[in-house]
């Protein structure tokens, strides 16, 4: 039980240090509002903290703390001597499917989304404003609605093309469908901060449109492109609903594997796997935020 008390105490000490370091700003703001913010964030992240702590629990079945161990992480990385929980082959296959799906879909969505963002920023054509509005639909549409719509569409098109059968190709198309909008929005936001005179200067120096895009626009928009790609990659790794509706028997991803395992009972290796996914997601989000700050 030591770790269950140690981590909250460290969090409180960090909060006290934070208040002491920024005492000048705290004086300007309401102390009650600051405390409320910390309590709200603590409540939101408390379940994740519990999962991370229990991933070091030495018990296979019980939820109470019986001792500290890292064997569940060792099992995830290939130690077959650890018994109980998920099989190493299942974890390896699900991890491979998740990474393949995320990398391929992100690469496709980054190219298409970047071109879409540049086109909406640079050109005005009939329906351009409507296209910009429609671009936000995949962002605000619930995942379950998009998953059902894609499933119905695949049922109609599977007689025309075999890659619409449930499986990895269908999952790649489904992920690209909602990733494009996120990439396009980020890239368009980055391009909106650029000075139009830069492109005009390139054209005055007899640069062709392709050379202008390749040597001027793309280097300046690269932070936005990378931020959009990281965001799309993170969304792909975390996605469950759309992947669940479009997956096949040989294309199980980590979120689907965790969901199927939780129904049979939560084991510490699931907690360890969930902790790793959360850490990877946090790294992707932090990198995306850093790149977006560099746009300013």
Question: In whole angstroms, how far apart are CA 29 and each of 32, 37, 40, 47, 188?
Answer: 9, 12, 17, 29, 34
pLDDT at 23: 52
Q: Is a pLDDT exceeding 70 seen at residue 274?
A: yes
Copy the structure tokens of residue 143.
Answer: 């995942």
Whether the Cβ atoms of residue 179 and residue 239 lie closer than 8 Å to each other: no
| Interval 57-110: pLDDT, tens | 877 766 677 888 888 787 777 666 665 556 666 777 888 888 899 999 999 999
User: What is the residue extent of each domain of the chain?
Assistant: 2-76, 88-293
Confidence of residue 218 (pLDDT cuts 50, 70, 90): confident
pLDDT at 102: 92
The stretch 231-235 carries a mean pLDDT of 88
pLDDT at 3: 42
- Distance, in Å, from the CA atom of 94 to the CA atom of 88, rounded to the nearest integer, reads 10
- Distance, in Å, from the CA atom of 52 to the CA atom of 83, rounded to the nearest integer, reads 20
Q: Is a pLDDT exceeding 70 seen at residue 215?
A: yes
Burial of 193 (0-12, 13-18, 19+ CB in 10 A): exposed
| Interval 122-177: pLDDT, tens | 777 777 788 788 888 888 888 888 888 888 888 888 777 776 788 888 899 999 99
Nearest to 270 by CA among 33, 116, 30, 57: 57
| Interval 41-59: pLDDT, tens | 888 888 888 888 888 887 7
The stretch 110-124 carries a mean pLDDT of 87
- Distance, in Å, from the CA atom of 272 to the CA atom of 91, rounded to the nearest integer, reads 12
Nearest to 280 by CA among 57, 102, 44: 102
- Distance, in Å, from the CA atom of 234 to the CA atom of 228, rounded to the nearest integer, reads 10
Q: In which element (H, E) is residue 140 found?
A: helix 137-140
Q: What percent of the chain has pLDDT over 90?
A: 10
The number of beta carbons lying within 10 Å of the beta carbon of residue 66 is 12
Q: In which element (H, E) is residue 43 found?
A: helix 31-54
pLDDT at 62: 60
Dihedral sign (CA 176, 240, 237, 172): negative
pLDDT at 9: 46
The stretch 25-34 carries a mean pLDDT of 59
DSSP string, 79-121: -TTS-SSS-HHHHHHHHHHHHHHHHHHHHHHHHHHHHHHHHHH
The number of beta carbons lying within 10 Å of the beta carbon of residue 275 is 21
Whose tokens are 């460290």? That residue is 10
> If you average pLDDT over every residue of the chain, what do you get?
78
- Distance, in Å, from the CA atom of 44 to the CA atom of 169, rounded to the nearest integer, reads 35
Question: In whole angstroms, how far apart are CA 282 and each of 228, 234, 286?
Answer: 15, 9, 6
Copy the structure tokens of residue 44.
Answer: 């939101």
- Distance, in Å, from the CA atom of 72 to the CA atom of 77, rounded to the nearest integer, reads 9
CATH class of this structure's domain 88-293 = mainly alpha
- Distance, in Å, from the CA atom of 110 to the CA atom of 136, rounded to the nearest integer, reads 16
Confidence of residue 292 (pLDDT cuts 50, 70, 90): low
pLDDT at 6: 44
Q: Is a pLDDT exceeding 80 seen at residue 257?
A: yes
Nearest to 175 by CA among 272, 121, 100: 100
């Amino acid at each position: 039980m030591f770790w269950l008390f140690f981590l909250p105490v460290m969090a409180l000490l960090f909060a006290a240090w934070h208040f002491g370091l920024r005492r000048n700003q705290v004086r300007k703001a309401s102390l009650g509002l600051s405390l409320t913010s910390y309590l709200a964030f603590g409540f939101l992240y408390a379940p994740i903290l519990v999962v991370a702590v229990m991933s070091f629990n030495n018990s296979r079945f019980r939820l109470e703390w019986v001792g500290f161990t890292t064997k569940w992480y060792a099992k995830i990385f290939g130690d077959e001597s650890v018994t109980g929980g998920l099989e190493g082959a299942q974890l390896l296959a699900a991890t491979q499917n998740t990474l393949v799906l995320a990398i391929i879909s992100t690469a496709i969505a980054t190219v298409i989304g970047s071109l879409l963002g540049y086109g909406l920023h640079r050109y005005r054509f009939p329906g351009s404003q409507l296209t910009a509005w429609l671009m936000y639909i995949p962002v605000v549409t619930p995942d379950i609605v998009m998953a059902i719509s894609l499933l119905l569409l695949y049922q109609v098109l599977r007689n025309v093309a075999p890659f619409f059968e449930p499986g990895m190709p269908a999952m790649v198309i489904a992920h690209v469908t909602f990733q494009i909008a996120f990439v396009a929005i980020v890239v368009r936001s980055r391009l909106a901060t650029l000075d139009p005179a830069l492109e005009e200067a390139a054209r005055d120096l007899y640069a062709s449109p392709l050379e202008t895009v390749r040597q001027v626009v793309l280097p300046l928009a690269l932070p936005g492109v990378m931020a959009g790609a990281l965001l799309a990659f993170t969304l792909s790794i975390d996605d469950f609903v759309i992947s669940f509706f479009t997956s096949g028997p040989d294309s199980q991803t980590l979120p689907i594997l965790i969901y199927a395992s939780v129904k049979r009972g939560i084991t510490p290796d699931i907690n360890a796997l969930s902790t790793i996914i959360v850490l990877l997601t946090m790294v992707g989000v932090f990198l995306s935020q850093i790149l977006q700050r560099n746009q300013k």
